[in-house]
Amino acid sequence: MAIQTHDELLTTIKDALQACGYVGELGGGSLQTRTPMTGEDLFAIEGTTKEQATEMIALADEAFKSWREVPAPRRGNVVKRWGQLLAEHKHDLGLLVQIEAGKSISEAEGEVQEMIDICDLALGQSRMLYGKTMPSERPGHRLMETWHPIGVVGVISAFNFPVAVYSWNTANALVCGDTVVWKPSEMCALSALGAHALLSRAIADCGEDQNISQLILGDRNVGEVLLDDPRVELVSATGSTRMGREVAPRVASRFGRYLLELGGNNAGIVTPSADLDLALRGIVFAAAGTAGQRCTTMRRLIVHESIADELVDKIVAAYKTLTIGDPRDESVLVGPLLHQGAYDDMQQALKTAKEQGGDVLVGGERVLVDDSEKSFYVQPAVVRMPEQSDIVHNETFAPILYVMTYSDFNEAIALHNAVPQGLSSAIFTENNSEAEIFLSASGSDCGIANVNIGTSGAEIGGAFGGEKETGGGRESGSDAWKAYMRRSTNTVNYSGELPLAQGVKFL
């Protein structure tokens, strides 16, 4: 889209929200929205108080009592309709994502496409909430398991994927028979209003109870209500490892469930047999795309010493061609950092890297766009590092790629696994043995392991999540739906006798 004036941007936001079905007023509230594209404030909107959040949980809890009795295929009709509305308003919601997260329109609409895809998957899942039948050791008995809804699901989502991760949880939770209370990032409240409005329309179109979906807006203080309320059976939280350390014990202290998607610090290994042109494309997108603000961003590159100089030269040359600027310009590849805090973190990380022996080959400089001091654009950085530097163990949510070398493949695996995070990983190789080792139990210790593609760009059909300090949660596809249900083991005795298991005799 063309670059707009600030007033034109505000009109675009109002039009997009109205198209999605939002009918509230903008302005005069306690929660200030902002765009990283220009650094300008947008609208002040009404936030949610803790008391209101508690009331919404109560409404969702009451709605659950009838929603759980609705046949699962009928529940699937709600997400089917939601997907249809998302497809119809893909551009409208994509604009809101672009404005608040600073993504290119291609990436922003791609995020909405993820929402559409998860609705398709969840619709099919609504007819496949399978249990098992197992052989009983007792004659005339049937042993089986069934799956039931758990109740209210609280979803806490982050700014970098303001609507997609919410939909991964919500589409699955709704078809499983749960109700949802969503607390989005306060930095992306407008996107949340649009996504929630579309779901509300879908619920109304299907004639179901509007209270099965609730939206609370505000900072971490209002989100904490979800952590402590015993009616919230599951808290699915996406954010930093620091946040996860606070969420997990609080929810566990009341014996609630939690699903965590936390820090990344993802690495790629490049072996001597790799197709370097293919590797180059995968690395640059994974490391510099979305200005390094994906949880799956490639932050470490471990390259065989025999090809390191050649590959690094190619990466540096590619970085120098990256277009940096306002993502509304369709020629731009790298948009803004979220705010000054992200910029300051990047500068501190680069300073520390230099102190630990790192050599910044390209990047790190601030790029002024339209002479604005309120927005924070940067040149993505590539840094050659000694293998054992402490800084590479920390995730900085900015476009910094640390490059290290190895001589032995086992050394590469050890370097890869040496960090506390375990989300996504990649290897570039034409050696089948290296690929299989990387995917084996003695290879990558991450929840996602890729061969000949980068660390970012996961598909809906697979379970998304990671190990170690990434939190261990799984969302989206595969059997991730089970997180939103409880398992019941059932034994039916139709024998007319009462034999006990394990041959126990009593009476």
Q: Which residues are catalytic?
A: 261
Tokens describing residue 449: 């392991």
* Alpha-carbon gap, residue 413 to 436, rounded angstroms: 12
The torsion angles phi and psi of 438, rounded to 5 degrees, stand at -60, -35
DSSP result, 62-80? HHHHHHTTS-HHHHHHHHH
- Look up residue 337 and give its DSSP letter: B
In degrees and rounded to multiples of 5, residue 134 shows phi and psi of: -115, 150
Q: Which run of H or E residues covers position 467?
A: strand 467-468
Gyration radius from the chain CA atoms: 24
Closest alpha carbon to 406 in 316, 306, 315, 311: 306
DSSP letter (8 states) at residue 210: G
Instruction: Return the amino acid letter for 273.
Output: S
Return the ∠ at Cα 271 (arms to 265 and 277), rounded to 5°: 90
| Phi and psi torsions of 366, nearest 5° | -75, 140
Q: Positive or negative, the Cα torsion across 154, 158, 159, 161?
A: negative
Sheet strands (E) in 371-423: 377-378, 381-384, 400-406, 421-422
Determine the 3-state secondary structure of 504 from DSSP. Answer: coil
Short-list 315, 309, 307, 263, CA closest to 287: 315
CB atoms within 10 A of CB 313: 11
Give dist(CA 86, CA 24) in Å, integer.
20
Residue 194 burial (10 A CB sphere; 0-12, 13-18, 19+): buried
How far apart CA 7 and CA 215 sit, in angstroms, is 27
Place of tokens 């277009």: 323
